[in-house]
């Protein structure tokens, strides 16, 4: 797995952990589904007309903005890196996004991974 894609995933997870400490609803099903849809359309299987939504199901404008910023950074940086290394297949991108070796410290003695925020997909 490309180390830069891992670092981008870790940065995303760390940003979402920070959001989670202020906005626990980030783990709600609606939020998880909306975040996955954004990653799907922006990174996994990029859509030419993709625009990151202003709302992601969070309870406050602040929470929505924080999630939007985290997802936007990930989609832009990971997408550019994947393109640069010739990773165009959606399932290859999915494998990089669901890299189980990437875990973020939850600051409470545990770790969180991609599945905690986005759920799991077998294939695209």
pLDDT in tens, 34-83: 999 999 999 999 999 999 999 999 999 999 999 999 999 999 999 999 99
In a domain, 26, yes or no: yes
Q: Give the chain's domain count.
A: 1
- Please classify residue 58 by burial: count the beta carbons closer than 10 Å to its beta carbon, then call 0-12 exposed, 13-18 middle and 19+ buried: buried
In a domain, 51, yes or no: yes
Residues 99, 74 contacting (CB under 8 angstroms): no
Q: Which domain holds residue 32?
A: 3-118
pTM comes to: 0.95
Q: Label each residue of 20-61 as H, E or C.
A: HHHCHHHHCHHHHHHHHHHHHHHHHCCCCCCCCCCCCCCCCH
pLDDT in tens, 73-109: 999 999 999 999 999 999 999 999 999 999 999 989 9
């Amino acid at each position: 797995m490309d180390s830069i894609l891992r670092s981008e995933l870790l940065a995303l997870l760390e940003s979402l952990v920070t959001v989670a400490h202020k906005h626990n609803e980030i783990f709600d099903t609606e939020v998880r589904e909306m975040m996955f849809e954004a990653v799907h359309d922006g990174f996994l299987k990029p859509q030419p007309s993709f625009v990151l939504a202003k709302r992601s199901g969070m309870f406050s404008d602040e929470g929505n903005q924080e999630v939007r910023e985290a997802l936007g950074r990930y989609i832009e940086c990971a997408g550019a890196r994947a393109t640069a290394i010739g990773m165009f297949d959606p399932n290859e991108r999915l494998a990089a996004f669901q890299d189980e070796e990437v875990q973020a410290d939850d600051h409470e003695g545990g770790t969180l991974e991609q599945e905690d925020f986005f759920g799991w997909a077998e294939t695209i």
